[in-house]
């Protein structure tokens, strides 16, 4: 059994289709099918059930996929790390973050980790919720600082770091800009600039329930979806209002941020990871996160 057999299998398992996997690998489909059959014979189990629509993983195939992904990442990481050792580095840590901005404590955790492990190459990969979780699932990321909830085929471990409050972003001259707390009814009166549902469907649904109640409750009629920076720029131009968790990321003089009326809408956030991980530095990152979180909680007024 060779490493390429693992790569072939992972490609078919992720594509759920032999033809698409062959294109991805740039090899002939008949040859790929033979390689997968050879792998199954060596293992003595069926990994994939073939049908007219593609290929479906068996329970054995699901298990083999998890282990194959980890093995391939360790193999690739070994090559990278060996090269880095010649530059005085000792390891690699790959961390996913939100493409819309760093969550609270995220920068502090990474800064503290880098200070303690100066010879580790810490690589940060921004992405939207499903992309980051997929990176974890495929073992391309070691850990991720993410908002919850999120959807995943597997169940990563999760260390909750805290909750982040959703704030209303308004044009500076908006009628509600003078209020300390904005009534939820204001979200229904203006065009509502929404988080993209495709970026994280689970989080999108949870966010709407926090803001407007269950789906049966009244929802905004005039809705436009846009990424974080795009939404805030539209608010600055007077095109509508939105909610955000990242007001500190952009300096927009025409936008003000206000709290919503009780109950305050909150989203969980924390570090997600899988065990085992390709990097043995994940426990070190979690230890730093624990310590930073405790210090942060101690600072908060009682």
Query: What confidence tier does 28 reach under pLDDT thresholds 50, 70, 90?
Result: very high
216: region left, alpha or beta (phi > 0 left; psi from -120 to 50 alpha) = alpha
Same domain, 142 and 194: no
Same domain, 187 and 238: yes
- Which two three-digit tokens encode residue 165? 């409050």
Same domain, 255 and 280: no
**pLDDT of 1 strictly over 90:** no
Which tens digits make up the pLDDT trace of 226-282?
776 688 888 988 889 999 886 655 567 889 999 999 988 888 899 999 888 888 899
Same domain, 171 and 254: yes
Q: Is residue 77 part of a domain?
A: no
50: Cβ contacts below 8 Å, ≥ 6 apart: 18
Q: Is residue 85 part of a domain?
A: no
Q: Is residue 75 part of a domain?
A: no
- Which two three-digit tokens encode residue 290? 């624990």
Which tens digits make up the pLDDT trace of 41-99?
999 999 999 887 889 999 999 999 999 999 999 998 888 888 888 888 888 999 999 87
pTM over 0.95: no
Structural domain span for residue 284: 90-157+273-299
Same domain, 151 and 183: no
CATH number at residue 200: 3.40.190.10
Q: Is residue 39 part of a domain?
A: yes
Same domain, 28 and 46: yes
Q: Is residue 84 part of a domain?
A: no
CATH number at residue 10: 1.10.10.10
Quickly list H helices, the chain: 3-15, 18-25, 29-43, 59-85, 106-116, 129-137, 186-189, 201-212, 228-236, 282-299
Same domain, 131 and 199: no
- Total count of domains within the chain: 3
Same domain, 109 and 243: no
Q: Is residue 291 part of a domain?
A: yes
Same domain, 152 and 237: no
Same domain, 149 and 198: no
Instruction: Return the pLDDT at 50.
Output: 87
Same domain, 136 and 278: yes
In terms of C-beta distances under 8 Å and separation of at least 24 residues, what long-range contacts does 21-25 make, across chains too?
A: none
- Which two three-digit tokens encode residue 109? 């955790």
Q: Is residue 174 part of a domain?
A: yes
Write down the mean pLDDT value for the chain: 87
Q: Is residue 224 part of a domain?
A: yes
Same domain, 135 and 10: no
């Amino acid at each position: 059994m060779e490493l390429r057999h693992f790569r072939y299998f992972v490609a078919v398992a992720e594509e759920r289709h032999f033809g698409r996997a062959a294109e991805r690998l740039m090899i002939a489909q008949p040859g790929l099918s033979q390689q997968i059959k050879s792998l199954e014979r060596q293992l003595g189990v069926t990994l994939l059930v073939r049908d007219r629509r593609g290929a479906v993983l068996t329970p054995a195939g699901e298990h083999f996929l998890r282990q194959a992904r980890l093995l391939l990442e360790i193999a690739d990481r070994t090559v990278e790390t060996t090269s880095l050792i010649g530059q005085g580095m000792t390891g690699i840590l790959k961390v996913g973050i939100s493409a819309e901005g760093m969550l609270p404590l995220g920068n502090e955790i990474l800064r503290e980790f880098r200070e303690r492990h100066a010879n580790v190459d810490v690589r940060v990969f921004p992405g939207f919720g499903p992309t980051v979780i997929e990176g974890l699932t495929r073992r391309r990321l070691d850990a991720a600082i993410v908002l919850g909830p999120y959807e995943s085929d597997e169940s990563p471990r999760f260390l909750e770091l805290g909750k982040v409050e959703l704030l209303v972003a308004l044009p500076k001259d908006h009628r509600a800009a003078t209020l300390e707390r904005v009534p939820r009814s204001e979200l229904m009166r203006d065009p509502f600039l929404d988080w993209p549902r495709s970026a994280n469907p689970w989080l999108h649904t949870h966010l709407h329930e926090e803001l407007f109640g269950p789906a049966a409750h009244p929802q905004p009629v005039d809705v436009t979806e846009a990424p974080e920076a795009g939404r805030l720029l539209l608010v600055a131009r007077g095109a509508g209002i939105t909610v955000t968790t990242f007001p500190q990321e952009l300096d927009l003089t025409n936008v003000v941020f206000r709290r919503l009326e009780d109950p305050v809408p909150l989203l969980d956030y924390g570090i997600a990871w899988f065990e085992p991980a390709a990097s043995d530095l994940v426990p070190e990152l979690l230890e730093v996160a624990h310590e930073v979180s405790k210090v942060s909680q101690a600072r908060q007024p009682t």
